[in-house]
Chains A and B, each alone.
Chain A
Amino acid sequence: MSSSQPSFDAFVAARGSALLRHAYVLTGDRHLAEDLVQEVLTHLYRRWDKVAATTSPEAYVKTSVTRQFLSWRRRRSYAERPTDAVPEPRAAQGDSSDTSAGDDAVWRQLATLPHRQRAILALRFYDDQSDAQIAEILGISASAVRAHASRGITTLREQLAGTDVSGAMS
């Protein structure tokens, strides 16, 4: 590894919280986000030299996190058990005005979307990735990205009908 490449420890120290935020908007769950990031970093730890030599190690890791999220949910879903007592989603830090109430409505409905749709919306609206970039990350076509995004937004619009979301944009 050349001196210009980040060491594993330095990378995690500098970008760990960003990775966790990325994982959190994908999963909607703090603990799953921690597990997801740890699983991916464990996998990449042993071949960090190659990761560090890429153009953007962070982009590489985020892509791994996203792909692991999609495959991980498939593998783990068989074992999840329903419970009658569904905990309320953790409220975001911030005020408790109507603005955040509308905001949380969007967040809650995002959690109900199929995970691929949620991942695409997260990449588009949180990471500001283009459809072409999302397609490359997910290994699908750009038209498929647009189709998934459209279905996700349509679902959200239907579910949020009657909810004032305009105030959530502050």
Chain B
Amino acid sequence: MTHDLDDAIRASLRRNAEAAPTIVDLDGVRDRASAIRRRRLLDTTLAVAATVVVALGVGVLVRGISSNQTLPPPVNPPTATAWPAALPWIAYTNFDANAQPSGATRIQLRINGTDRTVRTPPGSGPVTVLGWYGPDHRTLVWGEGQPPFTTQLLSTVTVSADGSTLSPVAPLRLRGQALTPGRAFVGADGALRLWMPDTLGSAASPASVITINDSLDGASTPWRVGPGGAVFATATAIGRVTGDSQLYVSRSPSDTVGTRVPVCGSLRAVSVSPDAGVLAVGCSNAHAELIDLATLKRTRIPDIPEVTDPGFLLGLWWSPDGRLHATTNPGTATALTTDAWTLSGGAWAPSTTPGVVTRFFTTGAPTVRLERLPTDGVAADNSGRLIVETDPPVDLGPAGSSVAVRPTG
């Protein structure tokens, strides 16, 4: 029996090993390694800066004491009311270490310059905010856990149109077919739908626990509702951010499966044009395409500048006037720098579109910066490129990790 069992284990392992995946995502490995390198560089820079600041502070203190001078009063940090009211609603997570019994994750909402807090049940674990959905993008959806978990408990809270009132926290309820290009989207009937790769096209039971085989991450784009209330396009790259990118386009509420469109590799950003006629996609290799949503015909456009290693693509945006913009990070020492570009005359040029919120991103420190182009359209440096200005940073706390910005377009 002993040898029989040994042989059975050996046979079982070898037989089942044949069902293993066969391809390593080499691009993903390189991208993640580059991201780690940038992060460490930033951490080092911040540590050096902090050391210098402390050293200077000690020097000032010593001089003040020795000369018996009065030190200037401390400068107060920016308060919530300093946040420009014109910025979109944002939601981000924070962790309250003092909550009993073992801390709790809170969701902070910053709406019209006012901070609000949504508390999650004790013991609910890490929380990732996924986005603003529902009619007028007023329903925030979040999941417990962080990618690439295979199961997430999804919950919602809805904010009144004037931003003054929050609904009670409720589990996410699904209606109709399961369809989630990306994290979620809303059909013309107002129902929120989720994409579950395992059950693509099959009915989803109205439950609050979603089981997926992929992370709820990757590029995604909000839906667009065209004339007559039809959903013209939703699109998402489902995958582990850097690999297995799949683009599905859904062009009507009844299209519960979507059409898979081949893309250029590791998909980084997708965006639907204001008239819902064109989908722009950008990849980690700087390759960019426009996809006609009526015919699904792909047209390559000029490569996005600064995207290849060490730089990387942050996002694509259509402005209301129908122009396409891209934001990139050059990947050099100044990781807080974001460059904005506009496709103009068949080439990407430094962007001058004012007032468009382009992207949020986390820095090496536990903060997030919300960026937008300068409203005066003036370049912020002398390099000939437009540097996106940063608004006051939001403190995410030590456990903060996700941010959702309400679409404004």
Q: Is B376 interfacial (CB-CB < 8 Å)?
A: no
Give me 11 other A-B pairs in contact (C-beta within 8 A), A20-B24, A165-B8 excluded.
A21-B20, A24-B16, A38-B240, A42-B33, A45-B29, A79-B125, A79-B126, A94-B15, A106-B12, A107-B16, A126-B10
Q: Is the CB of A34 within 8 A of B26?
A: no
Residues of B in contact with A (beta carbons under 8 Å apart)? 1-2, 4-26, 28-30, 32-33, 36-37, 125-126, 144-146, 148-153, 198, 209, 211, 213-214, 240, 243
The residue of chain B having its C-beta at the shortest distance from the C-beta of A15 within the complex is: B24
Given contacts A80-B149, A94-B15, contact A42 B21 (CB under 8 A): no
Contact of B24 (CB < 8 Å), options: A41, A46, A156:
A41
Q: Is A4 interfacial (CB-CB < 8 Å)?
A: no
Q: How many residues of A contact B (CB 8 A)?
A: 56
Question: CA–CA, A133 to B5, complex, Å?
Answer: 22
Q: Is the CB of B18 within 8 A of A38?
A: no
Q: Is A157 interfacial (CB-CB < 8 Å)?
A: yes
Contact of B148 (CB < 8 Å), options: A20, A31, A33, A160:
A31
Q: Is the CB of A156 within 8 A of B5?
A: yes
Distance (whole angstroms) from the CB of B261 to the closest CB of chain A: 23
Taking CB atoms, residues of chain B closer than 8 Å to A145 are none
Distance (whole angstroms) from the CB of B27 to the closest CB of chain A: 10
Q: Is the CB of A20 within 8 A of B26?
A: no
Of A25, A42, A104, the most chain B CB neighbours within 10 A belong to A42
Taking CB atoms, residues of chain B closer than 8 Å to A156 are 5, 9
Q: Is the CB of B20 within 8 A of A12?
A: no
Given contacts A17-B20, A17-B22, contact A107 B29 (CB under 8 A): no
Q: Is A153 interfacial (CB-CB < 8 Å)?
A: yes
Contact of A157 (CB < 8 Å), options: B5, B26, B29, B125:
B5
Distance (whole angstroms) from the CB of A87 to the closest CB of chain B: 8
Taking CB atoms, residues of chain A closer than 8 Å to B33 are 42, 45-46
Contact of A46 (CB < 8 Å), options: B2, B37, B240:
B37
